Amino acid sequence: MGTNFEKQTDLSNRPTSKFWTNALMATAFIAVAFMATGCKEEVTPKAPPTKKLSEYPRNETLYIGGFEWAPPTTFNPLDPNPNFPIDGNVRLLYESLLTYNQLTGKLDPMLADSYTQTDSSITVHLDTNAKWNNGNPVTPDDVIYTFKIDSLLPTVHHDNWQHIKNVTDDGNNNITFHLAAERNPLIVLNAIAEASILPKSVFEPLVKSAKNGKNYSMEKIREFKNDSLPVVSGPYNLKSYSPDKIVLERSEYYWRNNKLNGQKPAPRFIIHAIYNSNDNFNNAMVRGELDISSIYLPRIWEKSKDSIRAWSREEPYQYPANITVLVAATQKEPFNNINFRRALAHAIDFEKIKARAVSNYTPTMQPGLILPFGAEKKYYSKEDADLYGYSYNTSKARKILKDAGYSWNKEGLLRDKKKKLVRNISIECPQGWTDWNEAINVIVESFAEIGITAVPKFVDYGTWNKNLRRGTFDLAMKTPPTDHSVASPWDRFNNLMNLTAYKPIGEESFANPGRFQDAQINKLLEKIPTITNEEELELAYRELNKRFMQTVPVFPVMYRPSTYYQFSTKHWTNYPTAENPYAPPNNLIVATGVTALWEIRPVEEPNNP
């Protein structure tokens, strides 16, 4: 990928961009050795051991883990797979206009300080104080060009332009997103809260250089690694990276410090350590080498002895905000049979998954794809769940299969209507994701109880992600989408069942990985974003969830947080918690959770002159 992993790229942290450099710095460590003679006649006094010097003082450095698994190669936000902290909704370098607060269910200010909404448009007011780290103001031109890029390139946000007619500004920092005829304000609001605003001065020349006739070369776009002091608006910037870590350094002139009592974020450095499995991340956490981790850490209640805890001290410990599902390849045998899928839903032992795979970090599973608690509770119908839902019941699963014409041979293996053995099926997820790996092991055991042979398929992350996009799997674990947003629960259904995102198996799609097709669900997905009456909206969601339970295109497996959140108090304190919820449990780096960086405190205060 063009990166020399024998070296560590290092970038100085300066307030302006005119000093940018590609020079590589070699970190020097001072070692002093003292030879002990062991002779009793030795009278020369020994010098005290020299204290080891560190470029990153522990009381100024926050170590995090779980957002990156492989050696970093690019920090280009236009690359389909950029490395931390560019990917996801991390707000350390690039910022969005607004940001979702999962505790309140509302959009908080970031680059924009307010917004208004009508039936035909959404207008944000760009904060006049917003600046890039080179001192230049963030302008409406930057915002408009950022969204224009998505209209030009095949980015993950490209389809948003089906719902945006155009974007304009009035000369007073008011930027208006005019909705297209196929209006979907939920998608547009989500885009406003998730799109990283980019400096036009950097990315316009890049995009122009990639133009080839009417098309753009993504290969040319990807050549730009953006790894030499990027122009960013956030509180940190890239300092260095190597195969085992990514180092960020605080921007001393961050524009929002003035809004936070003139203070700077507490950590001068944020280092993301890179390990290749959950176990390695967790071992580092126990040793005190990580302060915050988004990795599944089992039996958190036992980790208090290691100064580790999660959001809450009580079950389910983590803050549930999403649903992990098992996606079925609905266009392939045997998953193209609704009765087969309904039987599988009744065969899954949810309580065993809860206890064995996720240490009871999930509330008891309920049927459907809507969270039966929190902000989504008003859309959930217990009555419909009882009528159309599913629960662990192998007798019922067998009855559904028998009524549909399936049978079993003498060995108890399932046969289809033609008396042919149902083929072995694979269940796929990334290797090393221990909670998902164990959940799949439980599901394999569950399916065996009704005569279905399932085989775990643990692959590297890239293979799993590619197979999901191309639909080349049998069953695959997925959390859709990973971020809880202002568009939830609509975006969860849309991500999994949107008919407009349907692509034949083998072609890439960023939604509907199971290639599911249902006209009734698709009509509801088109209608819900346009509904403004709350009572009508509740009825529409009820109908959507009912239809989901009838067709079961995916199998909800567990409730889970947007990201796991656990922290160590060995080196830092005053993290946000259920008892002190001054910020959401977003690992201090995602969305609104980034504000916690101004509140945490080192156990040992820095010795500042």
Residue 608 — very low, low, confident or very high, per pLDDT cuts 50/70/90? low
Distance CA 13, CA 234 (A): 13
Distance CA 556, CA 365 (A): 8
In this prediction, residue 159 carries a pLDDT of 82
Q: Which two tokens stand for residue 595?
A: 């504000």
Angle (nearest 5°) at CA 514 between 511 and 515: 80
SS3 string, 153-192, reads: CCCCCHHHHHCEEEEEECCCCEEEEEECCCCCHHHHHHHH
Residues in the chain: 609
Work out the average pLDDT over 251-261.
Answer: 91
* 48 has a pLDDT exceeding 50: no
Work out the average pLDDT over 590-603.
Answer: 96
Note whether 213 and 207 are within 8 A (CB).
Answer: no
Distance CA 198, CA 188 (A): 18
Note whether 488 and 376 are within 8 A (CB).
Answer: yes
Alpha-helix residue ranges (DSSP H) falling in 287-393: 338-347, 350-356, 382-388
Distance CA 252, CA 250 (A): 6
Higher-pLDDT residue of 374, 334:
334
Residue 605 — very low, low, confident or very high, per pLDDT cuts 50/70/90? confident
Residue 482 — very low, low, confident or very high, per pLDDT cuts 50/70/90? low
Distance CA 588, CA 565 (A): 9
Note whether 195 and 96 are within 8 A (CB).
Answer: yes
Three-state DSSP class for residue 371: coil
In this prediction, residue 607 carries a pLDDT of 74
Instruction: Name 62's bridge partners.
Output: 270
Distance CA 145, CA 104 (A): 30
- Which residue, among 281, 272, 289, 274, has the nearest Cα to 70 in the 3D structure? 274
The string of pLDDT tens digits covering residues 510-520 is 899 999 999 99
* 13 has a pLDDT exceeding 50: no
Distance CA 447, CA 460 (A): 24
Query: What global pTM score does this model have?
Result: 0.80
| Longest distance between any two alpha carbons in the chain, whole Å | 95
The string of pLDDT tens digits covering residues 453-481 is 999 999 999 999 999 999 999 999 999 87
Distance CA 476, CA 385 (A): 24
The string of pLDDT tens digits covering residues 55-82 is 899 999 999 999 998 899 999 999 989 9
Query: For all residues of the chain together, what is the average pLDDT?
Result: 89
Instruction: Name 478's bridge partners.
Output: 325
For residue 451, how many other CB atoms are within 10 A of its CB? 21
Lowest-pLDDT range of 23-37, 161-175, 261-275, 495-509: 23-37
Distance CA 293, CA 313 (A): 17
CA distances from 285 to 87, 199, 201, 279, 499 (A): 23, 36, 41, 10, 42
Distance CA 353, CA 365 (A): 10
In this prediction, residue 18 carries a pLDDT of 30
Distance CA 524, CA 184 (A): 12
Three-state DSSP class for residue 444: helix
- Which residue, among 293, 235, 310, has the nearest Cα to 64 in the 3D structure? 293
- According to DSSP, residue 457 is labeled E
Distance CA 168, CA 117 (A): 15
Work out the average pLDDT over 311-331.
Answer: 95
SS3 string, 203-221, reads: HHHHHHHCEECCEECHHHH
- Which residue, among 276, 327, 325, has the nearest Cα to 467 in the 3D structure? 327
Over pLDDT 70: what percentage of the chain?
Answer: 90
Distance between alpha carbon 345 and the CA centroid of its chain, in Å? 26
Architecture of the domain made up of 322-560: Roll (3.10)
* Residue burial 389-415, b: 16+ Cβ < 10 Å; e: rest: bbebebebbbebbeeeebebeeeeebb
Q: Which two tokens stand for residue 566?
A: 């656990």
Over pLDDT 90: what percentage of the chain?
Answer: 80
Work out the average pLDDT over 521-549.
Answer: 95
Note whether 251 and 237 are within 8 A (CB).
Answer: yes
Note whether 317 and 561 are within 8 A (CB).
Answer: no
Q: Which two tokens stand for residue 310?
A: 């999660």
